[in-house]
Structure 1
Amino acid sequence: MPRPGITAMIPCYNEIDCVERAYREIRAELVKYEDVELLFVDDGSTDGTLEAIKGFAAEDPLVKYISFARNFGLEAAFSAGFKYASKMWTVQFDADLQSPPHEVHRLVEKALEGYDVVFAVRENRQDPWHRRLGTWAHQTIARRWLGIELPQGASVFRIVRTSVAHKVVDSRLSTPYFIATAPLLGARYTTLPTAHHPRLDGTGKWNLRKLFSHAIELFVGFSFRPLTWLIGLAGAVLAAGAATMALTLAGRLGPVAVELAGLAAALVTLALLLVVARYLVRVMRVQAIGVPRYQIREANIPIRADEALYGYETPHVVGQFREPEVWEDAS
């Protein structure tokens, strides 16, 4: 079977301690294929990560990069990486190499069985307990309570048919949550257990606040069930309020009980408003088409003028970007 063309996409944010090792080890595995590129997406790093990537690119024609004007976040980084990948398959790596690059060959073999996406599931995950618990909890809630289809345990280490990745990016969802969007589009996906190592260099970028925010983005971005529950809850509060009023008029409730009931109703109302407000934010994001998901300050590959901070003044800007090469025997 012919070997596929592969883009190794590596998002980076302040990874100066990891990026050189990531370049060396990922390149060593990818050059075993005939047609490859290493696409670094610098998410507005301020610690010298971009300068290191430029150094790799100056000596290695396989290295491509795009650099954001500021930190736009991981979702923006992998969205840009998928959009500008030029090969038929794209493998997303983490710069910390907790998912070892040699596992890419197993992902490729699995994808060639006829899948559009293969998600790695980390065996014996070497992350802090709050990250392991947070991932399990929000994915379980999404699947069992909110009816969101996504593979349990899926990670960002994955191989994706680039044409499918383009569909995900171009869908312009308010929440570019790839793990949930790919099944929504009908992509053929599966999971594959892979090794996972402790982080050796640098510091992780995820904390409890980011984990919580990430979960909320998934919940409101892909399910309307919370709004349905709110209707039932609002009806229950209304009935309880009417009962409290009737009992008070009948003289069967004292002032303390009435105050407690009012406080409980106020707290529930506040919770209702918070959930509704979060959905309104989602709607506003969808309609704010003029607000860019990211802006590119510089790159060494052709980029779209509307995604370049300085427009046509930016080097390598073109009207259109490259389409991935077609490999007829992909599946």
Structure 2
Amino acid sequence: MKDVRMPPPGITAIIPCYNEIACVERAYQEIQAELSKYDDAELLFVDDGSTDGTLEAIKGFAAVDPRVKYISFARNFGLEAAFSAGFKYASKAWTVQFDADLQSPPREMHRLVAKAMEGYDVVFAVRENRQDAWYRKLGTWAHQTIAQRWLGIELPQGASVFRIVRTSVARKVVDSKLSTPYFIATAPLLGARYTTLPTAHQPRVDGTGKWNLRKLFTHAVELFVGFSFRPLTWLVGLAGVAWAGGIAIAALALAGRVTPLAVDLAALLTALVTLVLLAVVARYLVRVMRVQAIGMPRYQIREANIPIRADEALYGHETPYVVAEVWENVS
């Protein structure tokens, strides 16, 4: 792709953290060392309701390094909320998202920056020789493959949360008002120019991972129901088949051609299909309620050392640094 963009005037490194006291100092040291190679840069830590001293450590960094900014949530709102806040409050034109565990080495950010300067809005890192548990690697591959091939969802295969994004585009994703801010799926919907880049990956050195099978399954379901209606179409077809089969079994039973056991099994199968249908419909209803009915904020900020919106501050105008005006996108 032809180089059509000027070099970035500034870069924000956002680092979501949840109970990462074992990793956060190392993350700060290594990320700030790489950011020091840019004239205009900042580190924005998003504390996702940590209870283990992570926030206190971040405050210590901020006390000695004016480039360190932070916002702290009132409770644990989740990774999607954390990076959404990070993108919203990043003050530079480009944003690089890191994980506090540094499994994606900070030195790789320079390759992402160089690729973005070729004219892309988003460059997703694809982890080479991924150093994670087998179920995480299999889960990522499976849910992305199902999303692409079966559900028609456009995704950059293998994309991770390690990425560089034009901040104005990232904010469009955050403000899209979807039921779940699934960045990897939303960016293509908006027409963002994106690509992927293979990057190094390393084992977690300190602390413990936050992903388990339950979270992986929930994450996949949120993607499926948030960006495709095909599951509903399939289930309508399945319900039709179950209905026709039930009618046929009932007719055969009345004619004495099947045993009572066969009728019972058919009734059980029909009940199971009905339960599956209800479960999927319920997930779609939850999606609608999140967007239209409940109106719960995606996150609330307890404290920060940067200007934040009053409607996103737990204590409103009592919160230090709160501002009344709407936060505008950087140009």
Name the TM-score class by shorter chain: over 0.9
Question: Number of residue pairs matched?
Answer: 326
1:33 matches 2:33: no
1:172: Cα distance to partner?
1.1
Q: Is the Cα contact below 8 Å between 2:156 and 2:195 reproduced in 1?
A: yes
Q: Which runs of 4+ in 1 moved over 3 A?
A: 1-4, 321-326
Alignment partner, residue 245 of structure 1: 250
Alignment partner, residue 170 of structure 2: 165
Q: Is the Cα contact below 8 Å between 2:8 and 2:94 reproduced in 1?
A: no
1:319 matches 2:319: no
1:323: Cα distance to partner?
4.1
Alignment partner, residue 12 of structure 1: 17
What is the alpha-carbon distance in structure 2 between the residues aligned to residue 250 and residue 2 of structure 1?
Answer: 79
1:92 matches 2:97: yes
1:7: Cα distance to partner?
0.2
1:299: Cα distance to partner?
0.1
What is the alpha-carbon distance in structure 2 between the residues aligned to residue 114 and residue 201 of structure 1?
Answer: 36
Amino acid at match of 2:268: L
Evaluate the alpha carbon distance shift between residue 254 and residue 322 of structure 1 in structure 2; reply closer, same or farther with a 3 A threshold: closer
1:13: Cα distance to partner?
0.1
Amino acid at match of 2:238: L
1:57 matches 2:34: no
1:268 matches 2:291: no
What is the alpha-carbon distance in structure 2 between the residues aligned to residue 9 and residue 113 of structure 1?
Answer: 22
Amino acid at match of 2:136: R
Q: Select the residue among 301, 306, 321 that pairs with 1:301.
A: 306
1:45 matches 2:46: no
Q: Select the residue among 116, 138, 144 that pairs with 2:149.
A: 144
Q: Is the Cα contact below 8 Å between 1:86 and 1:322 reproduced in 2?
A: no
1:217 matches 2:215: no
What is the alpha-carbon distance in structure 1 between the residues aligned to residue 23 and residue 208 of structure 2?
Answer: 10
Q: Alpha-carbon deviations, 1:277-304, whole Å to 9, x = none?
A: 1111111111136311000000000000
1:319: Cα distance to partner?
1.3
- 3-state DSSP of counterpart to 1:37: strand
List gaps (5 residues or longer) in structure 1: 327-331
Q: Select the residue among 80, 103, 108 that pairs with 1:103.
A: 108
C-alpha root-mean-square deviation of aligned residues, in Å? 1.0
Alignment partner, residue 3 of structure 2: none
- TM-score computed with the length of structure 2 as normaliser: 0.97
1:4: Cα distance to partner?
3.2
List gaps (5 residues or longer) in structure 2: 1-5
Q: Alpha-carbon deviations, 1:59-80, whole Å to 9, x = none?
A: 1000000000000000000000
Alignment partner, residue 329 of structure 1: none
- 3-state DSSP of counterpart to 1:244: helix
What is the alpha-carbon distance in structure 1 between the residues aligned to residue 294 and residue 168 of structure 2?
Answer: 23
- 3-state DSSP of counterpart to 2:306: coil
Q: Is the Cα contact below 8 Å between 2:16 and 2:47 reproduced in 1?
A: yes
- 3-state DSSP of counterpart to 1:192: strand
Q: Alpha-carbon deviations, 1:253-298, whole Å to 9, x = none?
A: 1111111111111111111111111111111111136311000000
- 3-state DSSP of counterpart to 1:298: strand
What is the alpha-carbon distance in structure 1 between the residues aligned to residue 317 and residue 54 of structure 2?
Answer: 25
Q: Percent identity?
A: 84
Amino acid at match of 2:163: R
Q: Is the Cα contact below 8 Å between 1:25 and 1:101 reproduced in 2?
A: yes
Q: Alpha-carbon deviations, 1:35-85, whole Å to 9, x = none?
A: 000000000000000000000001100000000000000000000000000
Amino acid at match of 2:201: H
Amino acid at match of 2:154: E
Amino acid at match of 1:74: L
